[in-house]
Every structure is written in C-alpha cells, then in structure tokens.
Chain A
Amino acid sequence: MSRLVAILALAAACAHSGRQVGEARPDDPSWPRDGGLRIAYAGELHEPDDVGIQRGFFARVWRFITGNDESDELYRPYAVAVAEDGRIAVADPGRRAVHVFDRRKHDYLRIKAQLRYPAAVVFIGSTLLVADADARTLAAFHADGNPAPLPVEVPPLQRPAGLALDARRGVLYLSDSAAHRVYALPLGGGQPRSVGGRGSALGELNFPTHLAVDGAGSLYVCDAMNFRIQIFDADLRPLRTFGQGGDALGDLPRPKGLAVDREGHVLIVEGYFDLVQVFSAEGELLGVFGGSGNQPGKLWLPGGAAIEGHNLFVADTFNARVQVYDLERRTP
C-alpha cells in the first residue's frame, strides 16, 4: 500500500471542536506552524494496486507473459467522482477512457466505448455518467461497463464540461461551457431547465466548467472565465458570487475542480498556482494547501475534485494521479 503519512497543516481559528494539533511539513514554508485544523495527506491513486485491487491470477499471468502492462495506470486524470458504493471513477482523457476502481469488490474496470474526451464523471446510484466534451455527448454505463440508458433528457450540447448530482432532489446538473449555460436535468426525464448566458453579471456565465452541489441543494458553478464561483439555489436562481482573477492568496486565476464538504466549506482547485483553496460558503478564504510539484501532496495542473465523506479527491493531471486529502484530523 502506498499511503504515505506526510501531514499537511492548516491553522484552525474557527470554533470547531475536536481538532487536534498535527505536524507541519518542515520543508514547506506555506504551512503555518502553530496549532489548528490540519489537513492530512491520505495517499495517491495511480493504479489499481494503490487501492488494494490486486490483479486477478490470469491477468497477472498475462502481464508476466507480455511484459509490464502499464495500461491500468492513470495517464491524464482530469475529473474524479466517488459513488455511494465506494467506487472511484477517474476520467482520463489522455487514455480516452474512464477508470473505475471498486474498492469493495477489489475490481478494476476501464471504460473506453469510443470516448473522445471524457471531461466529467458523476455517479447516479450505481450508474456512471460521463460527459464527453469532444463528442458533445453524455454517456451512461452500468457497473459492469456496459452502456446504460441515460436517466435524463439531454438538450443539444456544445461542450459538456461539468457534472454534479443533487441526489435528494433528483436533479443532474450539466454545464455546457461553449454555450455558457448550466442545465438542470431532472432524473427520470423531464424538461431541462437552464441558466446562464455569456456575460459577467450575476446570473451570467463565461465558460462554466466544474460543478458541485451542497447539502442544501445549492449549485456551485466554476465560472471559469469570470474567475469566480457562482452559487445558485435549487431553482437555479443566482445567489451570489465570490472570487476574482489575480495572483493574491484567494484569487482564482484558473479555477478548476469544485467540491463542498460536510461543513459547507467550498474547496476549489486552482490550476494556475496548483493549489486547493478552501472558502467558507460566503466566500471568505479559509486556507490553501498544495503547491506546484510532483512530491506527495503537491499538484501539477490539477483538474476536477470530488468529496467522499471527509476525504477530498483531486485529479492531479500532470502527475498522473488522484491525490487524496483527509479534511479532518489525521495523525501519523
């Protein structure tokens, strides 16, 4: 197992009980050295072995006969999604495939199915949905990798770039970046609703990409070329925005992946400086972690993000891995 125990740190100032002091990384000057909330590095995912999925006997024999086969490894992971049953889907446009790691059944699956550029993935129950930005389609797959019927009605798309699911209200959100719109597609069919239109006013979008949904049903949209996060309510009414372009701490010159944790913190993957920035729901900067590099915990042009429980998965694209951070305490 390759779970390393390097600990990343964030200072805690909010009144959250139960948080303990961990260790700062001595070689990283960006982490504060006093006590507080720590974010721990929980490991990386590069190939099935990393999550304990051993290849089957015959697969290992084949591997022995034909020589090392790297095709189970991630190559350019761009987006990641985690299912309720623990499966992790990683969209890998460098391989034109989606890798699915099943941690409970110890199974690995690679879905190719003529995907051209899988840009976003999301699980609806056990069905996997993949947005193919190049083919301008949405595709659905069963747990065994076979195609499944789409659970939603899909409008004509120009460039589907993001997916998010509001399970409680049964709505699938889909962003179309070239159309500058976000669609709300009811599960089971039904008329799609949409919001957006190109512009920088509230309610307008300029190349929306990644999406996330919080517990209250609010939709968080990565409004990429407006360098902000725009938040809509469950009826697609714009609520507020935060963020701006720039090189100061907390700016979002290249916002990428988006996730909302259990406490409502908004985690944004920032691709220009290779950081994960943590904001409160109101847009106040809480902290940053990450940084450029290929060491454990560092990022290199990261992409999408997903949350499972208290773990944050970040698609670390050019490092060919998905990094996992534990958002609550972790001690060595």
Chain B
Amino acid sequence: MRAALLIAMLGAAATTPAASRMSSIDKSKHNFFGPGERSPLPGMDVCQFCHVPNRLETAGSVPPLWDKAGKGHNAALSTPADPSGPPLALRWAGSTLRCLSCHDSTVSSINIVFRPSSVSLRFDQIADDGRRRDAARSTMRAPPEEWLASVMGNHPVGIPYPLALEPSEYRGYGPRATLLATGDWQPDPRTRGLKLFTDRSGFDVISGTAGVECASCHDPHGTPNKYFLRIPKERSELCLGCHRK
C-alpha cells in the first residue's frame, strides 16, 4: 500500500515535467536508466528498480497455467516485508537482502560477499537449522582461520543495536541479556543521521528491538557523500556514529 502511494506520488512527479525536479537518486548510480537520465516511458519511474511495484492488488495477476486451481497463491508473497505484519523468520530478510540481491558483482561492480560471520560478531545460533547436516548451519559459523587469505569480511548487518544502551533482540537474534560494555556504544545513532530498523523493516524503533541493516549507514536514494553514506566517512565520523572507542 505504501509502495503504491509512493509510486503514485513519484509517478505524478515524473510525468509533469514542469513540476519535476532532480532528486538525489536521479543523479546517483541507483538511477538505472542511467545517472541523470529520465524514464523513457510514462508509467516507468526510477523507484521501481528497488521498490517493487505493487501489482498484486491493483493490476491483478494471471494465475499460472499449471496451477489454475491454486489461484496463484504464492507462499512467499504471503509474507511481505510489511511493517505491520509478523517478522520474517530469516535473518537478512530485511532491507539488506534487497541490497544484496543486486550487489553481487553482476549488476553492481560492488560485490558484498556476505558470509554469516560478517553478520554477527558472535556465533549465530538462531539460524541453526538442526535438520540440516551441515550446509545452512555451517554457513552461519565463522570461516576457518585458514580461509583468511581467500575471503573478505564485511561489517555485520541484520544484528541488534543496543539503542539507549539496552540489549536488543532483532529478527529473533538477541545475543546478550545484558550489555557487556555500555561504554562502547552511542546511545542513539539516529541523532547523528544513521538509521535503525525494527525487525519488521519499520522505522518505529524502540529500545530493545533496534537493528542494523545496510541502510543504517547507506541511503540508497543518494546523499551528498560518497558511497551513498549518510554521514561522510572523513575522520571516521561514520564509524564513531555508533561505536564509541
């Protein structure tokens, strides 16, 4: 619903040239028409590349030929990233997964090869599916030491943030009942311009449920800073927005 509204607003903006203005995303690399380019067709807009247009309710869908009786019921679609719905059981099912679906070195030159150890600083037991022999479980472990030369690490996402210096649980992952070192964290990074999320991908974060995703540091719509960063990285101010060291 929100997406439809958004599209409606921006679609309107796109189709009235006199009232249109170049937003930061238009000039950024996330404008997949080409940076600075405009949409070639009415009805297509720059938002649809990431914000999947909502056609399920409005345009209706053609049920699959092999599944006419099922009326196109799609289990995956019944659990969207909806702020008011239940949280998805999987980690990274928040906005981060959307970033990773393109940042795999094919569409984007930036490849973030996420490995589970880069998600969490601790052993991740939530995603441990006891039924699997090794695969899914082992991906959630830190890589063996001898792999160091061949793998690359990334800052963790999909993890809780101790908002107001209280331990958080995010997407079913709450590593600690009490914080180890409260002096290591800024109480509220949002005051510095960074973002935190609820595990239903909403912004109504309260202490105890706050989490970090890619979009905590990066604004995919474009910012005056390099790399879509919300805070410039000079003098490590970005790092120090959350970390107190």
Contacts and interface: CB of A to CB of B under 8 A. Distances in A.
A253 interface: yes
B65 interface: yes
Interface stretch (A137-145, A166-174, A272-280, A305-313): A272-280
A301 B97 contact: yes
Interface in B71-110: 72-80, 88-90, 92-93, 97-98, 100-102, 104-107, 109
Interface in A22-37: 28-32, 34, 36-37
Given A119-B106, A292-B90, A320-B138, A278 B52 contact: no
B8 interface: no
B74 A249 contact: yes
Interface residues of B, number: 69
Contact-residue size bin, chain A (C-beta under 8 Å from the other chain)? 35 or more
A230 to B, nearest CB: 15
B234 interface: no
A207 B31 CA distance: 12
B138 A278 contact: no
Contacts, number: 215
B106 A320 contact: no
B77 A159 contact: no
B107 A94 contact: no
Given A32-B70, A200-B40, A292-B88, A96 B76 contact: no
Given A96-B151, A199-B40, A134 B111 contact: yes
Interface of B: 32-34, 40-41, 44, 48-49, 52-56, 59-70, 72-80, 88-90, 92-93, 97-98, 100-102, 104-107, 109, 111, 113-115, 127, 129, 131-136, 138-139, 143-144, 146-147, 150-151
Given A93-B104, A287-B64, A294-B136, 15 more contacts: A30-B75, A34-B69, A37-B66, A46-B133, A76-B114, A246-B59, A247-B55, A249-B62, A250-B64, A251-B61, A273-B74, A273-B76, A280-B65, A287-B65, A287-B66
